[in-house]
Chain A
Amino acid sequence: MDEKKQELRIEILKYIEKHSRVDLGELAVLLGVEETDVANEMAEMEKEKVICGYHTLIDWDKAGVEMVTALIEVRVTPQRDRGFDRIAERLYNYPEVYAVYLISGSYDLLVTLEGKTLKEVSRFVSEKLSPIEGVLSTATHFILKKYKDHGTIMVPKKESERMLVTP
């Protein structure tokens, strides 16, 4: 890929990572390029799975929806030939599992899970996760408050204190 194309891609990605709903025409203006170039690059990156999806950051609390999020540390015995992948797969196929990461350090997999209640999450851990062959132990942490999520600070922003006009 030539340098200019790569540069444009990075510019697009940096912008839409935070503002995925931007109008393509507007994005083209902001980046100083043609709208068709932006549209083409985005289509290509969607196809190549560089862009994996367009999601929305929601404060479910404010939306009045009960939701608990748990971080579960999982220690596993890696399997011959397949390492951690098979166990990871058994986990990530559950729709309530939000994310699965292989982690360096004192445990192996970090699973984030969303459920309606503490009980629902605990039940998933005891009935589905722990019994998987190869899982040695789990430790479940419930998230009490989200201060910052996906790079966005979730607490209200202060008002600007700048004067209206200054030289």
Chain B
Amino acid sequence: MRNPLSKKIIDIQPSGIRKFFDVANEMKDAISLGVGEPDFDTPWRIREEGIFSLEKGKTFYTSNAGLKELRQEISKYMERKIHVSYDPMKETLVTVGGSEAIDVGLRCMLDPGDEVLIPQPSYVSYLPCTVMADGVPVVVPLQYENEFKLTVEDLEKYTTPKTKILIMPFPNNPTGAIMTKEDLEPVAEFIKEHDLYVMSDEIYSELTYKSEHVSIASLPGMRERTLVINGFSKGFAMTGWRLGFCCGPEVLIEQMTKLHQFAIMCAPTTSQYAAVEGLRNCDGEVEMMRRSYNQRRRFLMHEFARMGLECFEPFGAFYVFPSIQEFGMTSEEFATRLLDEEKVAVVPGTAFGECGEGFLRISYAYSLEDLKEALGRVGSFIQRLRNERN
């Protein structure tokens, strides 16, 4: 019998730490600091709007690119938040989570052999999606010394004549790093100079704690070179609704809509109606969640400082990325022992690329009470490790 599988899919390695994830998820009595989604319920007014749409019988497909009123709200939201205007009808596409936009975007932009610069540590899907789109992933390791920001020096090392796309994963999962306007400006100049395109994954844009999020698309000459990806999962606490969107130049959105139409038809109708309410009337709820994350972020930084755990101060998303290099073990060994001995689940930095070795991703999408309990255990664990080493 012939092999049902393509060489391409076989060649994509399953994430090395899949096993760790499976073990951790089976441990029902463990406390977790390992989750990449908000602990808040979706704001009630959004849920209620979803329920209301079902009551009214809004259970049909929407237009492929998404409900007109949602795209209009998205366009206004982008104008308000990143100060870039997108035509709701021609430059906006509603997708099944930001993740679909990553996949479809890469498939519409890449020809075989085109190279994609993927800064790491970063979210897990850029690399496999690039491979499935016949692109060549080129990992750009980010440096702890630069607080995991992307610099032009990093880009210079990895850009070739075949490079077509740069992924910009900021605010970053897993490091929590953000890029300010000053950080972005030289990168934007580099992009224009080398005639590249940017896929800017801004799914955590609502969650910054120092200065307002700045999109690279808002810099001069960058709008027509950038596909901005965003969604409702993080800022609006809507992970399970599977709703995202992207905005970009018409030529690209038009083709992405074509592929999206063939592959998906349209994003979930109920989620789209609910999201309209989110964009219209939920600034207060979003602000409340941001305030709460920020308090927990400060609390974690304070506790790490007390434990003497090295960590740069992150200003975005809901993660901190402390270094565990002093303990002389791999991230996975550390995480496995922490899980076994103290029943605390964290994610090894290597889940987000090899250069995450020596780091842990700790999520603060947890109540302060949970964080206190978990950090107490982390504290006694690292004390024990230090005693072992002395």
Contact = CB atoms under 8 A, between A and B. Distances in A.
Contacts of B381: none
Interface in A110-125: none
Interface stretch (B31-39, B103-111, B193-201): B31-39
10 contacts: A15-B295, A29-B299, A29-B302, A30-B298, A164-B27, A165-B21, A165-B25, A166-B35, A167-B173, A167-B347
A160 B24 CA distance: 16
Interface residues of B, number: 27
A162 interface: yes
B295 A165 contact: no
Contacts of B39: 160, 162
A167 B351 CA distance: 8
Contacts of A164: 24-25, 27, 30, 32, 34-35, 345
A105 interface: no
Interface in B284-322: 291, 295-296, 298-299, 302
B236 interface: no
Give the interface size bracket for A toward B. 10 to 19
A31 interface: yes
A58 interface: no
Given A15-B295, A164-B27, 17 more contacts: A14-B291, A29-B302, A30-B295, A30-B298, A30-B299, A31-B295, A31-B298, A162-B32, A162-B39, A164-B25, A164-B30, A164-B32, A165-B25, A166-B34, A166-B37, A167-B124, A167-B352
A32 interface: yes
A26 B295 CA distance: 10
B77 interface: no
B123 interface: yes
Task: Choose among A26, A162, A163, A167 the residue with the greatest number of B CB atoms under 10 Å from its CB.
Answer: A167
A83 to B, nearest CB: 34
Contacts of A14: 291
Contacts of A167: 15, 36, 123-124, 173, 347, 351-352
Contacts of A160: 39
Contacts of A162: 32, 35, 37, 39
A25 to B, nearest CB: 10
A165 to B, nearest CB: 4
Interface in A151-167: 160, 162-167
Contacts of B124: 167
Nearest to B32: A164
Interface string A93-132: 0000000000000000000000000000000000000000
A48 B347 CA distance: 48
A167 B99 CA distance: 12
A29 B352 CA distance: 30
A31 B368 CA distance: 13
A162 B302 CA distance: 26
A14 B288 CA distance: 10
A165 B27 CA distance: 10
Given A30-B295, A30-B298, A31-B298, A163 B25 contact: yes
A31 B345 CA distance: 27
A22 to B, nearest CB: 9
Contacts of A29: 298-299, 302
Contacts of A31: 295, 298
